[in-house]
Amino acid sequence: MKFNRSSLTPAQFLVIGYLTVIMTGAFLLMLPIATTNSSGLRFIDAIFTATSATCVTGLIVVNTATAFTLFGQIVILIMIQVGGLGIMSMSTMIAFVLGKKISLKERLIIQEDLNQFGISGLVRLIQYVLGFTFAIEGTGALLLFFRFIKDRPFWEAFYNAVFHSISAFNNAGFDIFGNSLENFTGDIAVNLIIMGLIILGGIGFGVIVELTNNFKFKKTSLQTKIVLVITGSLLIIGFLVIFALEYNNTLKTLPFFEKILASMFLAVTPRTAGFNTVPTGALHISTLFFIIILMFIGASPGSTGGGIKTTTFGVMLITLKSMITVNEDIEVYNRRLDKDIIFKTLSITLLALSLVVIVTITLTVTEANMSFLELLFETVSAFATVGLSTGITDELSDIGRLLITLTMFAGRVGPLTLAVAFGEQKRKGIYHYPKEKVMVG
């Protein structure tokens, strides 16, 4: 495939853009000034960390708190912000500062990056995205600062507040405490602030903009309705299931209120955030498998999170209901879904499942000393850009680290976007073959 600026598709631009950020970040993380070890970071570990940060995942092979200097941590933080907002959002912000106009080609790339239907109003959406992002991150940082200043020096409290606010809103899961948020299991302020940032970052910028302009559920778009219903349902079901499964396990020694708080947090964080207040590796097998499902579904389109997305899952449920009720049209909330949406939903889900299956099977060969569930959990966490781990990430071989790195990249860019970027571009035919039925089921 030839790559020249004039022939690149929007999908190809995105892939190259994210690769450029990752390679630049990896180079900076390999500098001696970036690590506490003067010998610097190994190339494979630098690529892994840069991919995890840019793809807002949070999986780590070295401890962020102890392995990196302030310079290294700031590099990671910048990559998190760029990866969370999206390459084109950051590029557009720079264009605003320089007073440049946004070309049609750039609008098409923004459309692909933010997963929008059309190019109308994209520049205004970017302005909203940037405004809401910095406002929410700033508010989160301020609230966390008021909490951290109680037991930390001023500048340490300030830095911790800013770092974790940005990491939480962008659903990255990176921390500089060394053990995620396990020291704050019963801290209501830290839990509620981080959960709020994760949810706001995961519901999608378009939804935030629409709810700001019109908060009435009945008057919102179908997209927003599906996002809110699926998100709310997953949070409630997730809380109830985790509370029940872990009540006499990881939550056993906690007071009742802390059991509720920890269960709520554990229901929120698989939405692609990656923070944890209880040890993930100590969770019951059934809980880990349930979290795998939550991670695979992930956040919502146009958000800082990954996964196949809540709307994809919602469309599958709506389609299933229509098939069961023998309804020719796929209908929900007095609206009919286009067949193209159904095809795209099927494609995304099959590509995601295929990626997870192939990577997991390969890992069972390269990492034969680890259990299947641990490897499946790690793979889905990487694909959905979650960052939760049972504790095996730093024990992966170099081949295993490379596989997880590629999985994180595919999860952030999107399996369908990646397939389209490197697939053969075919024009729509002027003729159609005759139809023929095939028995299925």
Residue % of the chain over a pLDDT of 90 = 57
| Mean per-residue pLDDT, 394-410 | 94
Q: What whole-number distance in Å separates Cα of residue 106 and Cα of residue 84?
A: 19
* pLDDT of 120 higher than 60: no
Phi, psi torsion values for 387, nearest 5 degrees = 105, -5
Contacts for 325 with CB less than 8 Å, ≥ 6 apart? none
What is d(CA 345, CA 296) in angstroms, rounded to the nearest whole number? Answer: 14
The model's pLDDT over 92-101, given as tens digits with 9 standing for 90+, comes to 555 545 455 6
Give the integer Cα–Cα distance in Å for 231 and 216: 17
What value does the CA radius of gyration of the chain take, rounded to a whole number of Å?
A: 22
Q: Tell me if residue 179 falls in helix, strand or coil.
A: strand
Task: Give the per-residue pLDDT at 107.
Answer: 61
Q: Is the pTM of this model over 0.95?
A: no
Q: Which of 149-153, 183-187, 267-271, 430-434 has the lowest mean pLDDT?
A: 430-434
Model pLDDT, residue 316: 92
pLDDT of residue 306: 84
CB 387 within 8 A of CB 299: no
Give residue 208's pLDDT: 85
254-270 pLDDT tens trace: 999 999 999 999 999 99
Residues 59, 387 contacting (CB under 8 angstroms): yes
Calculate the alpha carbon distances from 290 to 165, 337, 352, 373 in Å.
27, 29, 17, 12
CB 278 within 8 A of CB 183: no
pLDDT for 304 equals 78
Q: Is the pLDDT of residue 22 over 90?
A: yes
pLDDT at residue 190, rounded to an integer? 96
Report the C-alpha gap between 95 and 102 in whole angstroms. 7
Q: What 3-state DSSP class applies to 41?
A: coil
Least confident segment among 127-131, 155-159, 189-193: 127-131
Mean pLDDT of the 185-196 span: 95
Structure-token pair, residue 412 = 């952030």
Tell me the mean pLDDT in the region 142-164.
96
Residue 7 has a pLDDT of: 62
Q: Structure tokens of 31?
A: 């500098």
269: which 2 tokens? 């964080």
- 106-120, 311-325, 377-391: the lowest-pLDDT one: 106-120
Task: State the DSSP string of 181-226.
Answer: BGGGTT-HHHHHHHHHHHHHHHS-HHHHHHHHH---GGGS-HHHHH
The CA-to-CA distance between both ends of the chain, in Å, stands at: 39
Q: Which two tokens stand for residue 221?
A: 């778009």
Pair 176, 160: CB distance under 8 Å: yes
Contact 231, 207 (CB under 8 A): no
Indicate the residue type of 297: I
> What Cα–Cα distance (Å) separates residue 386 from each residue in 53, 132, 359, 390?
11, 22, 16, 12
Q: What angle do CA 102, 105, 109 make, to 5 degrees?
A: 90
Per DSSP, the chain holds a count of helices (H) and strands (E) of 18, 2
Half-sphere exposure of 49 (CA within 13 A, CB side): 32
Stretch 384-401: mean pLDDT = 94
Q: How confident is the model at residue 420 (pLDDT cuts 50, 70, 90)?
A: low
Q: Which residue has the higher pLDDT, 105 or 326?
A: 326
Task: List, in sequence order, the alpha helices (H) in 86-185.
Answer: 87-98, 104-113, 122-148, 154-169
Q: pLDDT: is 165 or 10 the higher one? A: 165
φ, ψ for residue 335 (rounded to 5)? -135, 150
Interval 27-85: pLDDT, tens: 999 999 999 987 788 999 999 999 999 988 999 999 999 999 999 999 999 999 988 87
Is the pLDDT assigned to residue 1 strictly greater than 50? no
Question: Is a pLDDT exceeding 60 seen at residue 113?
Answer: no
- Report the distance separating Cα 369 and Cα 304, nearest Å: 34
How many other CB atoms are there within 10 angstroms of residue 127's CB atom?
Answer: 15
Using the predicted structure, report yes or no on whether residue 2 has a pLDDT greater than 50: no
What span, in angstroms and rounded, lies between the C-alpha atoms of 300 and 312? 9
CB 417 within 8 A of CB 348: no
Return the domain boundaries, the chain: 10-421
Alpha helices in 303-397 (DSSP H): 310-324, 339-366, 372-383
